[in-house]
Chain A
């Protein structure tokens, strides 16, 4: 009687120990996973967020908010990025625009922040037109800067853009003028008061969508 009881206890002890050890192991595995999942790398995340935010809003790299200056962004160096966003200094970082890597320091595999941007390229269009009194010239859409060059002997007195007086000289306009029409409407220049040979150099912006990805690792 007492022998059988002893055997039964040994068996149940083995079963109980096995069950407890399995449960404890399972608990450790889950706790380890939870601990790893809780590490959100706040430093890297913040650095990547700041760098992306600065790239899409700093005057050095953009034309306006979320519109990157194609030339400035193509010439971006690691030192420029550190100056723009100090948190990424001393960290490995990669900046990608579309499918192209603009800048890489080290081989970061950490947090990636994506921003939706437009990339603007300036194209230069020059033409020379002979204008008389009352003539109009319509500029290409999305032009925000125009250079007008009046040749010697010009007798044009007034230049208007969409009806507003922009340049006026009763003695005849001569020389070079920079005009910045509004981006939000199509600009039409009209000339009054005389005739001239005018060189018009406009720099319309062409924008293209892209995704800016900034990856930062410690």
Chain B
């Protein structure tokens, strides 16, 4: 049985997602990278991850729809952390209403994110 925890990361900033991938893999997680909401939904359906990190503003399908898909259509309790930008307070509220677990407001510290992930996956 594979004990490595799987994390799906949906983020359209390629450098940020690459940096987070490096940092999280170093911590021993397996990362699945999606560039947009649609890819994220596909990855989640195929891999049943232990955690989902998603940006709110993304091409094709927004982070809100990803959350809604996981909670309502797939009916899963996977922890979901959303990334928001300044001024998206209303969307963060919506994200929580839809069932998001936690949020990080951009710009955020990658190390702080890692600490939160570790805590959520314990």
**A and B form one complex:** no
B interface residues, Cβ below 8 angstroms from A = none
